[in-house]
Structure 1
Amino acid sequence: MPASFIDPILISLKIAIVSTLIVTIIGIAVSRFMAKRTFRGKSIVDTFLMLPLVLPPSVVGFILLVGFGASSLVGRWIEMVFQHPLVFTWQAGVLASSVVAFPLMYQSARIGFEAVDSNLEDAARVDGGGKWTVLWNISLPLSLNALVSGIILSFARALGEFGATLMFAGNLPGKTQTMPTAIYVAIDSGKMELAWAWVAITILISMVMLLLSYRISVRT
């Protein structure tokens, strides 16, 4: 198969995998904090964390451009340190996909942590278990199904991200072109067979991810 067909698949998988790793780590940390603490303004923070789930992807892409573009302080700092702007790179695709996929991981992980019996965690602390010991031996194992479900849904969401990625990472063949953007270009160019091939691969991967999530939720 030609590289022009394989590259969008590999780039999509690379961006989705890296994004999923990022949102898994950050999602577990943030959801653990939010699930076990009560403070003034918690509902506002929770709303802010879930906001990318309901915002149009183009809005997310615009915000990322403003926040990390060449004219922003963060964007100029990144370009100075790495000698290359973040915009229109595959790393920009990772950031865009991470932002839109994060709410799914956060929501699943928070529900999982909230379902853990606090008495078990308190008992572990009384027996001398430290913060990390309780987390690794009590909290994470008991919320594992919810965490895995969040990881799967986040991966599927990152794999299918289009709007924010197109605005922030662009559509450079062999560099930032993912399957969703490649499908858009193929349809616009009248290459329907090529578009259908990418669509079939995307549907297949997404169905596998959703079936895995469903099986996990049924066992929970």
Structure 2
Amino acid sequence: MKRSMAFAAALIFATVCFAMTADTAAARRQQSPQSPQLSRPDAVLLAEAYHLWHTLGEKVWAGWTRVSVPFIYVTNDYEYAVGFPKTIEGYTPLGQDAVLGKSIQARKHVFGTHTAASFPYEGVPTIIIGTPAALEKSLAAWVLTASHEMFHVLQDSRGGIQKVAQLKIGSDTDPGWQLNFPFPYKDADVMRLIHLQGYPLYLAATDSDEGGVKYDAGMAADAVR
């Protein structure tokens, strides 16, 4: 009888412990909810930006599609790191997205939902961009905006930030000055010089003949002398 009572007490104790453990685990899950997967419409939108880049990138600038172009896509509640070459601290890996064919990581959003920019994040040139609704853009306009930022990633991967800093005409730590700098776009003579220099530079960048490259580059230099 005593053995039966002891066994019953032990069984009850074990059952209570199991129930408490399960409740604690459930409470933890409620306190730290799993980040939701990137929605299919958002994945399709990002896929279209990548598709445009892959299709036309090399026609715009040689070597553009050979660089890594990760996104941080900012929604109202979460932000998604897409195609990042490493695990980012503070983000939850969500595996590979079937539509994009790229790895996804997520966290509660930190960046502003109206952001549309590119800069190094965790040492990686990255596009940080909000949704079409947040940016008040159509889907097509959003894709073009994303493509614009993707080109900045190419520039950054080729030392663009360091080259701009060498100009010594703005802050070394805040690139925002580039958006407000009084560039003389309304000066007709300056714009003619930019046009004269730009076309030979394009020829120099696309010419396969070494002699042609040197000639075109020289023409570009002469245009601003």
Q: TM-score, normalised by structure 1?
A: 0.24
Q: Which has the higher contact order (CA 8 A, sep 6+)?
A: 1
Q: TM-score, normalised by structure 2?
A: 0.24
Of Structure 1 and Structure 2, the greater helix share is in 1
Structure with larger Rg: 2
Of Structure 1 and Structure 2, the greater strand share is in 2
